[in-house]
Structure 1
Amino acid sequence: MFWQFQRKSPMKNTHPDVRGGDRLDWNLLRTFLVIVQERSISGAAAKLHLTQSAVSQALKRLEEQLGRRLVERHNQAFTVTNAGEEVCRAAEAIYGNVAQLLTDVSQTEVEATGRIHLLVASRIHSQVYDNFWARFHQAYPRIEVQMDVLPSSEIVTLMQQRAATAGIALCRQMPKRLENKVFLQQRYALFCGRNHALFGRQDLRIEDLMGENFVSFASDALGDSLSPLTIFRDQRGFSGRVVATSTQHDEVKRLLIAGFGIGCLPEHSVRRDLAEGRLWRLPPGEGVCSVDLHLLWHRDAPRSPAETAFLTHFRDYIDGFTMAERLASDNVPPR
């Protein structure tokens, strides 16, 4: 895919003139977007599964074709220039428009069916959520659904690019262009598994946990959506290492049960594991922190009738339930 850009002024007098119809490879723009998002060449290379040299060359080619310096790198400092910010905004808009175009084209054959694309965090435990999908399919049987499970940080990034109808994710700092509605308020607490030395002990105090190693969500280790968990450890003075991480709820739980360490999980998501003796609740009794799970949608994204129906129906449906009811995993009748 290629896009044409008009050069404003050259980076050097010898720079080739791009006004003559030179075509700009979209892959260069996509690579630049990831560089900006990751704030480093190495981070972008890891995200794109490319070498750092390939990413650096892509950035160099884009700067040469546009005739502008897009980023400044000095030692450890990484700064996006004004031109780079402008290119980033334009690339995000192009990416969103292309994603919407593909959605629109896929719906032109049979307009009545429609398609929605939802990005969701893993393991949403909610009978209300399950009931919603049953009701929605009954009301709109011809709407098709594509649902992708991703880490919350990736969902927020993709929603900023208007790459999906909506997202359900953790989001500590809400980007300006995203609208949101709190779907679930999850209370996190500390747990250990049945293979851990602390399992089954009822005389524990939080002081007894200070040297224990941790199993953590990857976003916690990166200071991302779950960074309140990091803050809790630091404020309480925990000295144990983070010995295992995952972006997935089930894998964090698996490692806890295996005895790798102690760790935080949403209380409502592990009730059965507690009852069946796979996990053990640890101090403090009040839990660690509350983290909100948000429904996200882009303020400026054009929406098809199917997408509008989903957003309207979902917001209206969850408004009929309290937060406690939304967290229940069973015995919540549909409404």
Structure 2
Amino acid sequence: MPIALRLCSRRMSRPSIELRHLRCFLTIAEEGNLTRAAARLHLTQPAVSRTLAALEKQLGARLVDRSTHHLALTAEGRAFRERAAAAVAAFDTAVDPGRLRHRPLRLGHAWSAFGPYTTPLLRRWQRDHPETPLELLRVDDRTAGLLRGEVDAALLRGPVEIPGLATEELLTEERVAALPADSPLAARPGLALADLTAETAILNPVSGTTTLDLWPAGARPRSTLTVANTDDWLTAIAAGRGIGVSAASTAALHPHPGVTYRPLTDAPPLPVLLAWRDTARHPATGALVDLARRIAREPW
């Protein structure tokens, strides 16, 4: 079903679609849950439900399937999400005075950015493309703000299969276990997944990539604790509330006096991707992909 986005109307007495509707929908699409979406938007759940219902009424299409606990987008919702993200990104760019002369290229990441290649990427971009500032932004969600239009491209970890996003795998990283510094496991030079099954696994479902599926069925950690970002993840581990699993670059970029990192010898490596929307691309996206690819292939 074709969906026409009506941002303005001559009949001012008739309700119209506003940016708040689009931002609300994009947050719901990313969270897959009205309660989490409401928390991120600093709204009540009924307010989020009303905003979504108003948007669907204006579009004349059902965007979200509410028949399951985890909300899923309908076919119309998936088609509309890409256009909504592009519209929000275009609006934010248009009204930002700092972007009137030179539109920056906003590069998002949820944690650890490009690992040890982060500084070389930023320095060489500044040298080669001084006319286009590269802004590195940390956004705590699975696509680092890409789906919501907060960034133009994003450095992501783990497989990403989301319609409307194009990806380039740059490299893979080994995984490490993050342990309380006083844990007996911290004294070992390396660990296996089986060594962690008696522990509580601290998981970050918002922006992290580790789930219980990393362990074989029947040999998984005894319990879990969920957090919302990398800072809370580190704090919980340091406090002795459990253990975590992350990419090796986390150890270098997120040191913590109460956390010890140890190699996980049998965990599969984690792909590091550069992702961008395959429509409404920033003009410099291709140059960023090319530079990131070249840096990742250089000997370290």
User: Are positions 1:311 and 2:288 aligned together?
Assistant: yes
Which one of 117, 124, 139 corresponds to residue 135 of structure 1? 124
TM alignment of 1:98-117, pairs within 5 A: 98-102=91-95, 106-108=98-100, 110=101, 113-117=102-106
Contiguous gaps of at least 5 residues in structure 1: 7-17, 326-335
Contact in 1 for aligned 2:120/2:295 (Cα 8 Å) = no
Equivalents in 1 of 2:190, 2:26: separation in Å? 52
Which one of 41, 48, 51 corresponds to residue 34 of structure 2? 41
What amino acid is aligned across from residue 4 of structure 1 in structure 2?
A: C
Corresponding residue for 1:3? 7
**Structure 1 residue 136: deviation in Å?**
2.4
Q: TM-score, normalised by structure 1?
A: 0.69
Equivalents in 2 of 1:277, 1:64: separation in Å? 52
User: Are positions 1:233 and 2:238 aligned together?
Assistant: no
Equivalents in 2 of 1:257, 1:71: separation in Å? 39
User: Are positions 1:183 and 2:185 aligned together?
Assistant: no
Corresponding residue for 1:26? 19
Equivalents in 2 of 1:253, 1:149: separation in Å? 16
Equivalents in 2 of 1:107, 1:202: separation in Å? 49
Corresponding residue for 2:136? 147
Bigger Rg over Cα: 1
Which one of 279, 285, 297 corresponds to residue 260 of structure 2? 279
Corresponding residue for 2:3? none
Corresponding residue for 2:248? 267
Equivalents in 1 of 2:80, 2:189: separation in Å? 58
What amino acid is aligned across from residue 226 of structure 1 in structure 2?
A: T
State percent identity of aligned pairs.
20
User: Are positions 1:60 and 2:39 aligned together?
Assistant: no
Contact in 2 for aligned 1:187/1:287 (Cα 8 Å) = no
Contact in 2 for aligned 1:41/1:55 (Cα 8 Å) = yes
Contiguous gaps of at least 5 residues in structure 2: 1-5
* Partner SS state of residue 227, structure 2: strand
Q: 1:141 to 1:39 in 2, by over 3 A?
A: closer
Tell me how many residue pairs correspond in the alignment.
294
Q: 1:36 to 1:202 in 2, by over 3 A?
A: closer
Report the RMSD for the aligned CA atoms in angstroms.
Answer: 4.0
Corresponding residue for 1:192? 179
**Structure 1 residue 153: deviation in Å?**
0.6
Contact in 2 for aligned 1:4/1:21 (Cα 8 Å) = no
Corresponding residue for 1:330? none
What amino acid is aligned across from residue 256 of structure 1 in structure 2?
A: I
User: Are positions 1:256 and 2:237 aligned together?
Assistant: yes
**Structure 1 residue 251: deviation in Å?**
4.8
Corresponding residue for 2:224? 242
* Partner SS state of residue 242, structure 1: strand
**Structure 1 residue 261: deviation in Å?**
2.5
Is the deviation greater in 44-53 or in 88-97? 88-97
